[in-house]
């Protein structure tokens, strides 16, 4: 009987558990000190030969893993991830419960929201020709719960956004959604910070926090130093502004850019000019060029036109390498080295373009260099707050202001007058929680004053009629005594991803979708039966031909 049993069979064994005989213990195994002396063994269920090995840690093609997700989820790594996720959510629920929050479910079938991401639509049978939308988040509903007097609300909420997928973005994902009444920004941040610290201590005690209490950066500080509103703060690699020095060099592009008000920034890559296999030598000219070409290609992907550099020698007397060294006087070089803290063997990389492009390039460079130079400790958690976001970004295409979070975000009280004079300068009461290069959560104090709320619509290019159509229920509710309120939402998938030390949320999602939005196990989405469509009064338009642009 035992001989018939194979891997993945489900067995029932009757017998006596006993201590293993002398000398047969195996300390490598969790059951290494015991035996079962079986008197009866029954095969409850046989198994086909699985398409991949369950009990081994191999790099199985992810498509295969998703096709047989129920087998993939048997693997120890995935089980640990699922348990970690459970423990995380359980801790957060318990914590909030202990703080007097109550969990309230909000509808999945709700109303389309005009701003933000693309909605998933669900056709209504009872209301032919009309559609529900799946919620992008419970934002409106939780504010209405504040109107309703539930002063501390939370929900582990599924959210839906029909946008292109990324490693950290699935079309459906989970938020820990929270809202509180009678709070100011500091109240929310203090509570959330306490929750982060307690969570990490309990769920991932082996992962040290870099900042306790959490570091705070303004949006502007983060962008100028790191080029991102969610920088990975486990390492430095700060961009340094050298517009004054480099703008006075003889390098024409820097001169022109400095004059045009475009910044010139330097990212210093420590020791990048040094051979990795022999720290006593610098890279060959060839090796240096190859490395810089790679990095230049990288920054080009975000619109930078090039990447100038100076590679420093190992001895103090040597000359810098790189195409722009000759345009700088000795004094200018010394000033650069002083400003950037340059050391022998470093490479200084220069980025100059319009501000946003420099930011994007700095972000790319930092992430890439951190990997090359192995600067990010996978065990460390660098949680931090980003605050003082601008209320609006200018939307060049539509010639209007776009809310940087959403249209219910309260401006910083002292910036309210700026809404009339200079909206671009107004800061929101928003706060983002970031960690290791990801946005983990975001929130704000909301507008609870109807007249202020009505001021927002024209600013973002919406007529009052349109606003009433879309948000009439909100505006009306706001006429019935709204407490000041604010809240936050955390991305549970990303949080668990960091805890599990993996680099995409599919690893912590039981049944994820591929980048093209497919469930390759169940084959969703799938065609609807004609009868189903008929019931919904839906007729399909002709589908675009696939591959019609084919050449020979």
- In this chain, which stretch among 59-67, 243-251, 373-381, 414-422 interacts with RNA, using CB under 7 A? 59-67
Decide: 142 and 177 in contact? Cβ < 8 Å.
yes
Site residue total, RNA (CB under 7 A): 58
Binder of RNA out of 56, 206, 523, 539 (CB under 7 A): 56
Looking at residue 277, what DSSP letter applies?
Answer: S
167 is an interface residue for RNA by CB under 7 A: yes
Nearest approach in angstroms of CB 185 to RNA is 16
- In this chain, which stretch among 158-166, 235-243, 264-272, 282-290 interacts with RNA, using CB under 7 A? 158-166
The CA angle 284-287-288, to the nearest 5 degrees, is: 85
Binder of RNA out of 12, 24, 256, 379 (CB under 7 A): 24
Nearest approach in angstroms of CB 32 to RNA is 6
Nearest approach in angstroms of CB 473 to RNA is 20
**Distance separating alpha carbons of residues 57 and 76, to the nearest angstrom:** 9
Nearest approach in angstroms of CB 244 to RNA is 29
71 is an interface residue for RNA by CB under 7 A: no
Closer to RNA by CB, 74 or 339: give it.
74
Decide: 379 and 205 in contact? Cβ < 8 Å.
no
Residue window 426-445: x/- pattern of binding to RNA, with contact defined by CB under 7 A: -------------x--x---
Nearest approach in angstroms of CB 310 to RNA is 26
Nearest approach in angstroms of CB 42 to RNA is 19
117 is an interface residue for RNA by CB under 7 A: yes
Secondary element (H or E) of residue 362: helix 355-372
515 is an interface residue for RNA by CB under 7 A: yes
Decide: 324 and 308 in contact? Cβ < 8 Å.
yes
Closest alpha carbon to 387 in 192, 208, 212, 238: 192
Residue window 353-382: x/- pattern of binding to RNA, with contact defined by CB under 7 A: -------x----------------------
Decide: 441 and 488 in contact? Cβ < 8 Å.
yes
Pairing mode, if any, of strands 383-387 and 215-218?
Answer: parallel
Per CB under 7 A, contacts with RNA among 301-320 are 301-302
Pairing mode, if any, of strands 172-181 and 152-160?
Answer: antiparallel
For tokens 């980048």, the residue is: 515
Token digits for 465? 């009629």
The CA angle 370-375-377, to the nearest 5 degrees, is: 120
Closest alpha carbon to 59 in 47, 77, 74: 77
Pairing mode, if any, of strands 383-387 and 392-395?
Answer: unpaired
For RNA, the binding residues (CB under 7 A) are 6-7, 20-21, 23-26, 28-29, 32, 35, 49, 51-53, 55-56, 58-64, 116-118, 136, 161, 163-167, 169, 301-302, 360, 389, 393, 404-405, 439, 442, 504, 506, 514-516, 518, 520, 546-547, 549-552
């Amino acid at each position: 009987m035992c001989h018939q049993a194979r891997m993945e069979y489900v067995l029932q064994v009757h017998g006596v558990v006993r201590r293993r005989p002398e000398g047969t213990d195996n300390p490598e195994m969790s059951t290494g000190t015991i035996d079962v002396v079986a008197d009866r063994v029954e095969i409850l269920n046989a198994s086909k030969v699985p398409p991949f090995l369950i009990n081994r840690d191999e790099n199985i093609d992810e498509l295969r893993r998703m096709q047989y997700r129920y087998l993939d989820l048997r693997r120890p790594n995935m089980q640990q991830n699922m348990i970690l996720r459970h423990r995380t959510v359980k801790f957060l629920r318990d914590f909030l419960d202990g703080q007097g929050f109550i969990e309230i479910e909000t509808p999945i079938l709700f109303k389309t929201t005009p701003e933000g991401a693309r909605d998933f639509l669900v056709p209504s049978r009872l209301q032919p020709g009309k559609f529900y939308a799946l919620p992008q988040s419970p934002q409106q509903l939780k504010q209405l719960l504040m109107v309703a007097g539930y002063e501390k609300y939370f929900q582990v909420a599924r959210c839906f956004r029909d946008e292109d997928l990324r490693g950290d973005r699935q079309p459906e994902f989970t938020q820990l959604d929270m809202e509180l009444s009678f709070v100011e920004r500091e109240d929310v941040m203090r509570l959330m910070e306490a929750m982060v610290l307690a969570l990490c201590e309990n769920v991932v005690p082996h992962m040290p926090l870099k900042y306790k209490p959490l570091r705070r950066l303004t949006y502007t500080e983060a962008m100028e130093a790191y080029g991102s509103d969610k920088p990975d703060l486990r390492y430095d690699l700060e961009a340094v502004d050298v517009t004054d020095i480099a703008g006075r060099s003889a390098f024409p592009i820097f001169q022109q850019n400095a004059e045009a008000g475009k910044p010139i920034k330097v990212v210093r890559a420590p020791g990048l000019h040094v051979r990795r296999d022999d720290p006593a030598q610098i890279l060959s000219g060839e090796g240096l060029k190859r490395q810089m070409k790679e990095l230049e290609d990288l920054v080009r992907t975000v619109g930078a036109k090039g990447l100038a550099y100076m590679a420093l020698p190992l001895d103090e007397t040597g000359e810098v390498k790189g195409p722009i060294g000759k345009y700088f006087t000795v004094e200018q070089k010394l000033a650069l080295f002083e400003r950037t803290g340059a050391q022998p063997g470093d490479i200084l990389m220069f980025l100059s373009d319009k501000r946003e492009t420099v930011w994007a390039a700095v972000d790319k460079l930092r992430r890439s260099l951190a990997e090359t130079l192995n600067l990010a400790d996978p065990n460390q958690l660098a949680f931090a707050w980003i605050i003082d976001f601008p209320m609006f970004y200018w939307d060049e295409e539509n010639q209007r202001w776009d809310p940087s979070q959403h249209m219910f975000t309260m401006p910083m009280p002292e910036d309210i007058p700026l809404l009339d004079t200079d909206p671009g300068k107004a800061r929101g009461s928003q706060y983002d929680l970031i960690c290791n290069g990801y946005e983990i959560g975001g929130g704000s104090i909301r507008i609870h004053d109807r007249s202020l709320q009505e001021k927002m619509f024209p600013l973002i290019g919406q007529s009052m009629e349109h606003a009433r159509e879309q948000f009439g229920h909100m505006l009306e509710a706001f006429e019935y005594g709204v407490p000041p309120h604010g809240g936050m939402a955390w991305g549970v998938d990303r949080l668990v991803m960091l805890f599990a030390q993996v680099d995409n949320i599919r690893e912590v999602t039981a049944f994820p979708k591929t980048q093209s939005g497919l469930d390759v196990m169940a084959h969703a989405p799938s065609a609807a039966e004609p009868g189903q469509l008929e019931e919904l009064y839906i007729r399909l338009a002709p589908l675009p031909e696939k591959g019609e642009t084919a050449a020979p």
